[in-house]
Amino acid sequence: MTDKEIKQLGLVPANDIRVNTAIAPFNDAMLKEHGFESRAEVSKAMFLCMKKYGGVGLTCNQAGLPFRMFVMGNHLSLQNGKKYACWNPRIVATSNDTILMQEGCLTFPYLFLKIERPRTINVEFEDDDGKTIKEEFSSLFSRIYQHELDHTMGITFVEKVSKLKFDMAKKKAEKMYKRDLQLAEIEQSRKSKEA
């Protein structure tokens, strides 16, 4: 299946009710109702959408789908491109050791927040074949899994920081966005002059 044959998904805005609502457990009967034949078809569409927007994790509700599922990885900087499609994900244990790290989110472009999370987690999820997978994640995969699992519960990372920290990060994000717009306008002007 080529990228053109894969169902195209987009991101829903941060104020969309689907982003802020917990997702019910998934079952395969839900697929046809939303135009999909298989879990693998959803996974391909999700990985393509995540890549298109430059992410390392994406939950179905961020793309407007009501499936308790997310994808993560598929980037060379993450264990040489290792990737996971996680259906009905859950955490079964966490380490007492925590780590404070900066996170971003495709739902909130340009916004980066420092979030404290357990360093290591033990998880269970179903794969595209419905088989239960048990994994232990540490480092970045642990971080991504926890961030995406929060999305399945209708929780976004902005809820994990104080209003002051959020407001400061939001101002910084707005400056970065304006800078990128200016750079894009300069580039567009340059191309117009060359044509």
Catalytic residues: 148
Token pair in block for residue 189: 């002007």
Cα(39)–Cα(103) distance, rounded to whole angstroms? 28
54: left (phi over 0), alpha (psi -120 to 50) or beta: left
Helix (H, G, I), strand (E, B) or coil at 173: helix
In order of 85, 109, 132, the CA distances from 22 in angstroms are: 18, 21, 21
Q: Which residues pair with 101 in a beta bridge?
A: 115
Token pair in block for residue 15: 């104020």
Helix (H, G, I), strand (E, B) or coil at 101: strand
